[in-house]
Chain A
Amino acid sequence: MISLEQVEAMIKAELPDAIVKVNDLQGGDHLEAIVVSSQFEDKTLVKQHQMVYKAVQAKMATEEIHALALKTYTPQAWEKANQVA
């Protein structure tokens, strides 16, 4: 089974400046990733998610990760989200 640290490392390899937190939602193969990166600036949410999925594509293809729910933020959006919370 893939470790949460492994998934974090794969995302960071694609987006080196990113702050990444991966959580297990269910049984170790349904995961959630929260990713904050300046590389998301000026990109649509879909483009942001595509960037993260690209990083973990190999593990999704083999079903080691069955599902990955994404929450992506630019640093500014992240700050704003946390002020509200």
Chain B
Amino acid sequence: MTPEVQEKIDNLVNQNKVFVFMKGNKLMPQCGFSNNVVQILNTYGVPFETFDVLEDEEIRQGIKEYSNWPTIPQVYIDGEFVGGSDVMIELYQNGELKQMLEVALAS
């Protein structure tokens, strides 16, 4: 990962309380796992921004190195990597995600 890619990712995750690297976009997810994450965040009605990795190969590869996580989607809350689709489903079901979002959006 080049320093430029790292800086770009840093900016994206730090300038947005909730940020998702995904395949496709909110309206048209191009992958079932990306869609899961969007649907979960939509249920809370919280503002979140997304980046379509299919449009940028450097970010698509760089983000895996950035987080030490090999798959997409990737969700960041308050600049910190939270997890992918499986983890988001788990955090949604056990109520932790609601709490994390409330804390992040209140800060």
Interface size on B, residues (CB 8 A): 11
Q: Is the contact region of chain A dominated by helix, strand, or loop, or is it mixed?
A: helix
List the interface of chain A (C-beta within 8 A of B). 45-46, 49-51, 53-54, 57, 60-61, 67-68
Report 17 cross-chain contacts, Cβ distance below 8 Å, ordered by A residue: A45-B87, A46-B81, A50-B67, A50-B68, A50-B69, A50-B81, A51-B68, A53-B69, A54-B68, A57-B64, A57-B65, A57-B68, A60-B64, A60-B70, A61-B61, A61-B64, A68-B70
Q: Is the contact region of chain B dominated by helix, strand, or loop, or is it mixed?
A: mixed
Nearest 3 pairs of A and B residues by beta carbon: A54-B68, A50-B68, A53-B68
The answer to whether B73 has its CB under 8 Å from any CB of chain A is: no
Cα distance, A43 to B87, chains bound together (Å): 15
Q: Which residues of B contact A60 (CB under 8 A)?
A: 64, 70
- Closest B-chain residue to A45, C-beta based? B87
Chain B, residues 60-95, CB within 8 Å of chain A (1/0): the string is 010011011110000000000111000100000000
Cα distance, A40 to B105, chains bound together (Å): 29
